[in-house]
Structure 1
Amino acid sequence: MKLRTALALVMILLLLTALTACAPAETTELDAQSQQTQETANDRPDTDRSGNPITLPDQVDSIISMAPSATQTLLDLGMKDKLVAVDTYSAMYFGLENLPTFDMMEPDTEQMAVLNADLIFTTGMSASTGTDPFKPLRDVGVCVADIPSASGIDTMLEDTRFIADCVDAEEICEALIAQFQKELDQLSEIGAGIRNKKRVVVEIACAPDIYTAGSGTFMQEMLTVIGAENIFADQEGFVSVTEESVIALNPDVILTMVDYVEDPVGEILGRTGWENVTAVANEDVYLVNTNAVSLPNLHVIDGMKQMAKMIYPDAYAAIEDPFAAGDAA
């Protein structure tokens, strides 16, 4: 199994109150600068997205990111030069192999401490064994900010704002979110007008151990926005399902994000006993971009565009597929 799909599967399993003050009418330029600095400090988060207290340094010049979704957001915010280390998957996904890398599940905190980073972004996946591997760093005063995997789009926006607030990139962040919202509204408008909704299943892992998304997940929300019906919407979270259950529910479209078999679409089309499944009979089986549909950040909009065009090519004809000229894996 390729590491990046394994990561996507495990990751799937698992606004700040702004304080403003009014400056006095008579204030020197130095006083104004001091006031602005204080207001900025007051605006910054004092808890992470898991609710843990954090104390951000006055200035963040060096960052370690231990989650691909956070790494991609930091790159979007123009923080590449501030990254001093990343998890191994981030290095592989985003061409950051020149940086020191750490195992997300078993990070070498002693080596991390040597890097003396101002801020470390983590995800709850690193604590999936029940222990916090970053506790030694927290104990010596390193600012470690945890961001659990988002279950919906609104949470993704809040996570993005949190990261931006931590690194003083609010202006860039709001521009990115405005563009995201514009594209989301466009997809939502088209999706709301679709009457004959197609029934869809998203394969995160393939047969015989099929894994898919149910309700309460951002994948469910992505399908809903573009006007599709998830055949496993009656299931909660990310679930393992049998081949028999998929066959019985007879999806119109099968989307796969599997990239650990040579030909994932061909594998589905060639499954014994699936010949009469509508999606297979009509060859409506498609490979979607794994990162765009699994990493909970603003890039899910690209995954939604791609899925929309695969499911409803006519309705979304005016929408550009961001991966049309590239590899969908």
Structure 2
Amino acid sequence: MKTMTSKICFRKLKIVILLVLLVLPLFVFPTKLTDMAGRKVDVPASPKRLVPYDAKTSILVFPCAGSKLLAKGMISGTRFLPYLSEEYKQLPTVDIKNLENVLSFQPDLIIAGAFLPEDPLEKFDKLQSKAGIPVVVVDLSLDKLDETYRFLAELLQADAACEPLISYLQRVYQQVNELKGRKSLSDVSVYYTLGADGLMTDPSGSRHTEVLDYLAVPIAAKIPLPSGGHAQVNLEQIIAWNPDYIFATAFKGDSNPAERILSNPAWKSIKAVQTKKVYVVPGEPYGWFDHPPTVNRICGLIWLSELFYDYSPEQAKADIKLFYRLFYQYDLKDTELTEMM
């Protein structure tokens, strides 16, 4: 009798264990995570519904998040966004400043890109507290993007999607670092500008000139780092700096800033204008220097490495096309690349 009772109890125990094993996957238990800013955050063990903090973040996260990414970040101005996956373009836009809009997506995680360690973190803590949704901060620094995708691979359980991105970035970093180690550009100066009159710029140390700083390209503008946005200078300053190269970003509908500078008599005494070394920074779908300053700047690294170092034109072309395929999920044609450059 005792043996039969024991057998019945054992069968019941097996049934209970089986039910627990079947039901357990239905529950998502939070896990404690340290984000790239060093913040301790309770996140879902397997996040399924993501919203980005801004456009910088959504561009970064898109190639590895798949269907988990519910929205793209807001960006100023109306943009057609060519050379970019239709899947991304069709995502609705989230306004992170509108809590009702954020909550309408029913996210289980917000991912926020930041320039670490400089960017203040209070705004992310405040959003997390107000929304009741975990906010994880990742690093947008140009030289740390491979580490960021490694972090995202673990966070999103997206190794298969992230590994090609990581491998690509590490190869580009290695090639660029080797090339710039062979040559000094100390006798060269570059002026970077955006805006209708060419008088808006950024000095060394700005996130908008991080591509130039990474490549050790001397920046002509010797001015204090602006506290927000870009710095306004005058033509007399630019003439005094006398840069060898000028890189101009089309801004707010300005179609060809380089042509405008080259045709303006007031700029004719500047060396870059005399030698016609005035270039438009490619900007489709996003700028190769900035606007917004996120993973798109890798194309700027490759482009400038071809111009200033010995990155072969054929390799540069192939690597930029591969970038568009991996990160924008768009097969860029040779004619489209030529048109951009």
Confirm or deny: 8 A CA contact 1:48 1:147 kept in the other structure.
Answer: yes
TM-score, normalised to structure 1's length? 0.70
Offset of residue 249 of structure 1: 1.0
Cα pair distance change 1:191/1:206, threshold 3 Å = farther
Q: Is the 8 A contact 2:140 2:295 kept in 1?
A: no
Rg: which structure is higher? 2
In the alignment, does 2:204 pair up with 1:214? yes
Taking the aligned partners of 1:325 and 1:250, their CA distance within structure 2 comes to 34
Per-residue Cα deviation, 1:204-227 (whole angstroms, up to 9, x for no partner): 44536412241364734x325545
Is 1:265 equivalent to 2:251 in the alignment?
no
- Share of identical aligned residues, percent? 20
SS where residue 153 of structure 1 aligns? helix
Partner deviation per Cα, 1:11-68 (whole Å, 9 max, x = no partner): xxxxxxxxxxxxxxxxxxx9xx9xxx9xxx99x7623344443211121111112322
Once the two structures are superposed, the pairs formed by residues 18-37 of structure 1 within 5 Å of their partners are none
Q: How does 1:26-175 map to 2 (within 5 A)?
A: 46-77=33-64, 79-89=65-75, 93=81, 94=84, 95=86, 96-104=88-96, 107-123=97-113, 132=123, 135=126, 138-139=129-130, 141-147=132-138, 149-150=140-141, 152-154=142-144, 156-170=145-159, 172-175=161-164
Q: What is the alpha-carbon distance in structure 2 between the residues aligned to residue 129 and residue 49 of structure 1? A: 13
1:201 is matched with: 191
Q: 1:300 aligns with which of 297, 300, 308?
A: 297
User: How has the CA–CA distance of structure 1 residues 211 and 287 changed in structure 2, closer, same or farther, with 3 Å as cutoff?
Assistant: same
Partner of 2:46: helix, strand, or coil? coil
Match for residue 271 of structure 2 among 261, 278, 296: 278
Deviations 1:275-303 (A, max 9, x none): 01111111111111233321444442211
- Equivalent pairs, count: 282
- Tell which deviates more after alignment, 134-143 or 59-68: 134-143
Matched, 1:190 2:202: no
**Stretch moving more, 274-283 or 206-215:** 206-215
Which one is further off, 88-97 or 286-295?
88-97
Gaps spanning 5+ residues in structure 2: where?
1-17, 322-333
8 Å contact kept, 1:286–1:310:
no
Structure 1's 180 and 98: CA in aligned 2 closer, same or farther, altered over 3 A?
A: closer
Is 2:340 the partner of 1:328?
A: yes
1:241 aligns with 2:233: yes
Contact 1:265/1:287 (8 A) holds in 2: yes
Kindly provide the amino acid, as one letter, of the partner of residue 160 in structure 1.
Y
CA distance in 1, matches of 2:196, 2:306: 22
Q: Which stretch shows the higher mean deviation, 57-66 or 207-216? A: 207-216
Is 2:192–2:248's contact at 8 Å kept on the other side of the alignment? yes
* Aligned partner letter, 2:112: T
Letter in 2 for 1:142: I
SS of the aligned residue for 2:40 comes to: coil
**Could you say which residue in structure 1 is the equivalent of 2:325?**
none
Deviation string 1:53-112 (CA, Å, 9 cap, x unpaired) is 3211121111112322322232221x23112122233995454343331235xx321132
In the alignment, structure 1 segments of 5+ residues that lack a partner are 1-29
* More off after superposition, 45-54 vs 79-88: 45-54
Change (3 A) 1:245 1:296: same
Distance 1:273 1:236 in 2: 26
